[in-house]
Amino acid sequence: MSNDTANKATVTTPSEREIHIERVFDAPRDRVFAAYTDPELIPQWWGPHGTETVVDVMEVEAGGSWRFVSRGDDGETAFRGTYREVTPPERIVQTFEWEGMPGHVSVETAQFEDLGERTKVVTTSIFHTPEERDGMLGSGMEKGMNETFERLDELLAR
Amino acid sequence: MSNDTANKATVTTPSEREIHIERVFDAPRDRVFAAYTDPELIPQWWGPHGTETVVDVMEVEAGGSWRFVSRGDDGETAFRGTYREVTPPERIVQTFEWEGMPGHVSVETAQFEDLGERTKVVTTSIFHTPEERDGMLGSGMEKGMNETFERLDELLAR
């Protein structure tokens, strides 16, 4: 069984303001958690294929800020937020804001489930309004997310 | 009729995630809008009695940031956010985050209604969860808000 078929993300919408994503990675939990929290590793996988991401700020602790600048085919853009909770290697809660729509802030909770040699990452995003949630779903998020997860597969396989 | 009885704020909760506040001020709309948007005026009224507020950042335009540092009896704290919309003299939409609970972000919409020599300010705050809304209601918000509005009355009377 190749990774391409085994580790597909599932995207569901449990309420009108939420997006729920599950994805399995072929690596132990500590390594997956490190990929999410190490500023040296973020540029190696964060963003769709062809994206160059620069970590501008990344204070991985409760109350800390983060800001990533991404350069791709469409030019340069940036994302930012605040860490609400960082509980290694289990859980990260953070806000997420695209600077193209400043002040539209979602809250992302990522749970890292230990499956032995594999890890399931369960991410729930909650938006202020159904319209903001639908805007994210309509933005090509799923394609970008799948490419991002493929890049993370590649990093974890190295 | 004195201001004390005439201009009392009304606080309602139209949904489980919202706080709705209405307050009339004895000044024309342009002056009330200026009090909300002029960094020179903010320190003269922002916060309960005895508070000293310093404007750290205040970029009053869509996408701009704001950050106010407040010193009072309980020590120093700070508040911050992003302006989503600034439409003089009618409307301000901004995020609001107390740095004591970083990553808990509400969205405040302030509408300035022209009543001739008076102005009604209608503010709606929407929180991510009912728990965050209830936390704000339980924080002594209403007392602090009424004192803040009294200070704004005094500024507008000068």
pLDDT, position B7: 84
Instruction: Let me know how many helices (H) and strands (E) chain B has, helices first.
Output: 4, 8
Best A85, A101, A128 residue to mutate vs chain B (most B CBs within 10 Å) = A128
What's the sign of the alpha-carbon dihedral B136, B137, B139, B141? positive
pLDDT, position B140: 86
pTM: 0.91
Residue ranges of chain B with per-residue pLDDT less than 50: 1-5
Rounded Cα gap, residues B107 and B109, in angstroms: 7
For the sheet with A18-25, list strands across it.
A10-12, A18-25, A118-126, A106-115, A91-98, A75-87, A65-72, A52-58
pLDDT digits (tens, 9 = 90+) for A70-123: 998 889 999 999 999 999 999 999 999 999 999 999 999 999 999 999 999 999
CA distance to partner chain B, nearest, from residue A3 (Å): 35
**β B91-98/A118-126 pair status:** unpaired
Q: Are A126 and A18 in contact (CB under 8 A)?
A: yes
Best B128, B129, B132 residue to mutate vs chain A (most A CBs within 10 Å) = B128
Q: Model confidence at A18, in pLDDT bands (50, 70, 90)?
A: very high
pLDDT, position A70: 96
ipTM associated with this complex: 0.87
Of B63, B97, B104, the CB nearest to A102: B63
How would you classify residue A63: left for phi > 0, otherwise alpha for psi between -120 and 50, otherwise beta? left
CB contact under 8 A, B82 and A103: yes
